[in-house]
A and B are shown apart, each in its own frame.
Chain A
């Protein structure tokens, strides 16, 4: 079963140049995919087609085997959760509990199920002690976890993370990543959009590179970051560890622990 299937997707705003120029992409269920590329390459525009925020000008998008044109945004949001860059844009309720309960309440779930779901998510995101706090009293990292909680509570099968770690420090980023890794273990399909190549190397099974509205690269992190010509074309910088493994003349590695092992083996 494929989570996402995109066929010849074109998109332009009326009277404007095309932003997406024929994208084809299939993502298997449970896959962890990173989408990278320069600003303006079409990453966010592509992601907005997955939950119906944008509709194809031409081509089609299937979510879990069904054409998105059959569904409203509300229906798609049950399947595809979307976390944006700035958590404050996603926060509007008076308490953390109500913030997370907002989505399930709109689904008109019974109140006891809502409470059960929210409490479970509060635990996963380590926000239980803030259950009755005002969302805006939380720190940056906590707000981003709250925004993630509000998405996760809908139990989506596909999770789109658009620059989820921008402006966060290491501990906050690790907090978000632990949750995302946990969801991925539960077979949630994850599509991560980021400029952080260290993050891409750390997490993803597959990297898709976009440039000028098209997919220009597709492979494992190692394959992508070893391809200098592709990186130059997409204006991407390989992770430090990849550069360093090449300088040492070793097989390319993208993670610190992997390169550490390789160096020790050769010494």
Chain B
């Protein structure tokens, strides 16, 4: 679905490369999480996945990003925005309409999608984020988690094949976080959506992802299944990446010879003690 080949990028204003030779393939239907310390280049990488970099934000760009086989150098951002939906940290920066319905209709209307199909897409998107009853609501009246779900639904009405989410829950309270992660899980499991998620908190990543990519200083330094990555507790802590507390605890116990494995979830932890 997405192929990244020897990607380098440097912002005009900065001395050093933010992306320093990234190679990464993301398969259709895969849930890939990207983690790494602040400044490692993960947000910049997100912006290359729909062509915003290098088309809108320019800089020194080399290498290639292919979406469905087409290089992001070749077409305009608007072409890729049909395939790749982008969700940012703060949902308020993405919402502007007077009702949820108008918010969701905006994208497909601009693509001149027929009216009844727009209607179908809106109903589908609202059902996925579980907000059918908020159709006529003013987005400003919604809670943080609801706003972020509407931002996701607005993205879905473009029927993208990939959703890229850059720390979508960092400004939400625990309830909002749970709501958004539930939506992501459903999109992956039921709709077979390809998902690229940048996230600081690793508890949810361990449960949801097919693959975890660890970045540091503009490079991919570790990648694999959540188990493969989160077992490397000392390396991750050295990089300044939080591992789930349950993994840290079972890592300490394993080092002491008390348990055989490192647990990624509480359920796995429970099984170690049976």
Contact A247 B270 (CB under 8 A): yes
A230 CB, nearest partner CB in chain B, Å: 14
Interface size range of chain B in the complex: 20 to 34
A29 within 8 A of B: no
CB distance from A167 to the nearest CB of B (A): 5
Interface hits, B223-274 → A, CB 8 Å: 237, 240-242, 244-246, 248-249, 252-253, 256, 258, 266, 269-270, 273
On chain A, the residues within 8 Å of B200 by CB distance are 167-169
- When distances are taken between beta carbons in the complex, the residues of chain B under 8 Å from A170 are 37, 237, 240-242
8 Å CB interface, B152-178 against A: 167, 170-176, 178
Binding site for A on B (CB under 8 A): 37-39, 89, 143-144, 167, 170-176, 178, 200, 203, 237, 240-242, 244-246, 248-249, 252-253, 256, 258, 266, 269-270, 273
**Size class of A's contact patch?**
20 to 34
Q: How far in angstroms is the closest Cβ of chain B from A17? A: 14
Q: Which of A139, A195, A247, A259 contacts B249 (CB 8 A)?
A: A259
* Cα of A243 to Cα of B253 in the assembled complex, Å: 17
Most buried by B among A38, A39, A40: A39
Listed by A's residue number, 19 A-B pairs whose Cβ atoms lie within 8 Å are: A38-B174, A38-B175, A139-B38, A139-B39, A140-B38, A167-B89, A168-B200, A169-B200, A170-B241, A170-B242, A195-B174, A197-B174, A236-B174, A237-B178, A240-B245, A244-B266, A247-B266, A256-B248, A264-B253
Given contact pairs A140-B38, A241-B249, A260-B249, A195 touches B266 in the complex (Cβ within 8 A):
no
Task: Say whether B249 contacts A39, CB under 8 Å.
Answer: no
**CB–CB A169/B240 < 8 A:** yes
Q: Which of A173-221 contact B (CB under 8 A)?
A: 195, 197-198
- B264: shortest Cβ distance to chain A, in Å? 11
How far does the Cβ of A231 sit from chain B's closest Cβ, in whole Å?
10
Set of chain B residues within 8 Å of A267, measured between Cβ atoms: 258
